[in-house]
Structure 1
Amino acid sequence: MEAVRKRLIHITRCRGITRRSIRRFVRYDPTLQSIYKFSSTEINQFLAIPHKQASLLYSDLRNPSLIKQIIQDISSCRVITLVDEDYPVVLKTIKDAPLVLYAMGNTSLLDKHPLISVIGTRKPSREALSKTEAFVVPLIHSNWVIVSGMASGIDSMAHQQTLKYDGMTIAVLGGGFHHIYPKHNYHLFNQIAEHGLVLSEYPPDTPPKRYHFPERNRIISGLSFGTLVIEATERSGTLITVDQALDQGREVYAVPGNPFLAQTRGCHKMIQEGAKLVQHPMDIMEDWERMESNYKLLS
């Protein structure tokens, strides 16, 4: 098993292959051993990928510098793979589950219940902090794990409130640990790594790219019993996480607000489309009490 996990980590770091192709190959060879014996032409034919990509993959499978970098990364942070016993079971149920997760901090938080993702706009209103305090702090005091994406705005508020009240929080990043985004959250990153847990699907040296953030959102919602939206504009990126949460069969909660504020219109739209309107944290807690036994069977 150790050899398989090392090959999985290696292959996910190679150029020219997607997660989808890796999954397809795993079904063919669960040991992942045979791909190292393929020529670039055989890779091209078997995986049905262009010659250029097949050549990149063939090269990276034999690249000693890449292997050395992986060894260094494994020594600097925890790596959890899909074949590990401590891989979060709830993530195995989602579409395109991450094959590898890099972790810094307390990985036992992944075994806690309940987890809730708290998300929202990067440009919150002046009311946003009081909303976050009103809805999130009671959950913190009730030992809920707060999951978010460490972005500016609502995400940061959720993490900061959790740290302030000695709660449990998980941040899921859109880049590697050596490229914190936004840069002004570097101190927050260190705090979460020390007192909570930071996760990333991307190796430590990977700079964040625009498409990483929608990708990481499926992990934020996938880890959680439900997603709580504090504020969102009508075209907010927050809606991507909401769509993924619904697709994953998770609960979605939205906080209503002043109808004249742009930051609340997204929440009102979600409520119109079926999200649960929350007026008090107890609305969420009561839902969890009703669903706890079924959810724990899943996880």
Structure 2
Amino acid sequence: MEMNREDLTIRDKLIYHAMTGVCTPNFMKHLYLSWMRDPFYSIEEIVNSYVPMSNETKQQKLKLSLEIAYCKRPFAELKELYRVNNIQVLTILDNGYPEGWLNSYLPPVVLFYAGNIRLLEQPCLSIVGSRSPTAYGKAVMDEMIPPLVAEGVTLVSGLAKGIDQMVHSSTIGYGGATIGIIGSGLDVTYPRENASLQRQMMAEQLVISEYPLGSKPERFHFPMRNRLIANLSLATLVIEAAEKSGSLITANLALQENRDVYAVPGNITSRLSDGTNQLIKAGAACVLNATDVLEEMKTQWR
């Protein structure tokens, strides 16, 4: 069962397992905690102690998947693949790993990135919203982005359609800093119309993924991606969101992790305002302009 990794550090072992694409974020956390207790735990012991895999059939399936992955792509080969693609790695063991992630329930153990990793050192605000914003939502974005950029806030979103795309492109247009967190490998663009924007951000800004190269944008990746958006920043701002939407998932994840959530109120007859209005009703900070957002954020900067 064991791969030839006797000389690998814990960090390298974690990176290798993340690169295989076999390990879920939850199992990566279990690997990390297990090896921090004892660096010599075998994969078999770790799999056998993983509670969600208490079923013997599931354990054997995971062990087989890992064995196949080891044989298919040795670590040295995978490292070279990432090197030639200019993809870097950040782990939970590294200096500069964000406190927001470190202090969350399910911190990402290994992340792949392209761009300026120092953007993680700046005060960050996550902005999420509808993939099909109305004219009102677009006007709100035009109002919000310039003052936030001028104040030096790094704006985080998910490189999806609509509000996400506007966050990134507008921030770049105003000369600001922006981080995209995606639910696929960094060599995959979803949606396709953001291909040029993603390439630009990977060269000049920062794009991050928990998923290795070649990973498709699977549906179940996005709730996991949303926790990274919610936990990285001081707060999450929601602009136009339906009552059941990915934006509301992100906002609720932020609330669960004791992060601040701000919401822009909307027309009570608009479906895309249901989510934001409900957030305000439930206690999220109601913000009407960028000044409101900055005043809320600055209480955390002090």
Give the TM-score normalised by structure 2. Answer: 0.88
| Cα displacement (A) at 1:236 | 1.8
- 2-structure distance, mates of 1:202, 1:18: 9
Q: Which amino acid aligns with 2:101?
A: L
Does residue 230 (structure 1) correspond to residue 239 (structure 2)? The answer is: yes
Give the one of 20, 35, 48 matched to 2:26. 20
Contact kept? 1:109, 1:145, Cα under 8 Å: yes
Aligned residue-pair number: 289
Does residue 121 (structure 1) correspond to residue 130 (structure 2)? The answer is: yes
Partner of 1:288: 297
CA RMSD of aligned residues (A): 2.2
1:263-274 equivalences under 5 Å are: 263-274=272-283
- 1-structure distance, mates of 2:108, 2:216: 18
Contact kept? 2:127, 2:239, Cα under 8 Å: yes
Q: Which amino acid aligns with 2:116?
A: N
Percent identity between matched residues is 33
Q: Which amino acid aligns with 1:231?
A: E
Give the one of 231, 245, 263 matched to 2:254. 245
Q: Cα gap change, 1:6/1:44 in structure 2, threshold over 3 Å: closer, same or farther? A: closer
| Cα displacement (A) at 1:24 | 3.2
- What 5-or-longer segments of structure 2 have no aligned partner? 1-6
Q: Cα gap change, 1:32/1:202 in structure 2, threshold over 3 Å: closer, same or farther? A: farther
Q: Which amino acid aligns with 1:130?
A: A
Q: Cα gap change, 1:196/1:270 in structure 2, threshold over 3 Å: closer, same or farther? A: same
- 2-structure distance, mates of 1:177, 1:44: 28
- 1-structure distance, mates of 2:21, 2:191: 26
Partner of 2:190: 181
Give the one of 6, 27, 33 matched to 2:12. 6
Q: Cα gap change, 1:133/1:174 in structure 2, threshold over 3 Å: closer, same or farther? A: same
1:156-195 equivalences under 5 Å are: 156-195=165-204
Contact kept? 1:4, 1:31, Cα under 8 Å: no
| Cα displacement (A) at 1:74 | 4.1
- State the Cα deviation string for residues 195-242 of structure 1 (Å, max 9, x = none): 211111111211110011111011111111111111111222211000
Q: Cα gap change, 1:25/1:206 in structure 2, threshold over 3 Å: closer, same or farther? A: closer
Does residue 93 (structure 1) correspond to residue 99 (structure 2)? The answer is: no
- State the Cα deviation string for residues 260-288 of structure 1 (Å, max 9, x = none): 22211211111111111111211121122
Does residue 199 (structure 1) correspond to residue 205 (structure 2)? The answer is: no
Q: Which amino acid aligns with 2:263?
A: A
Contact kept? 2:146, 2:171, Cα under 8 Å: yes
Give the TM-score normalised by structure 1. Answer: 0.89
| Cα displacement (A) at 1:68 | 1.2
Moved more, 215-224 or 191-200: 191-200
Partner of 2:119: 109
- 1-structure distance, mates of 2:61, 2:260: 43
Contact kept? 2:187, 2:213, Cα under 8 Å: yes
SS in 2 for 1:178: coil
- 1-structure distance, mates of 2:37, 2:140: 49
Moved more, 195-204 or 58-67: 58-67
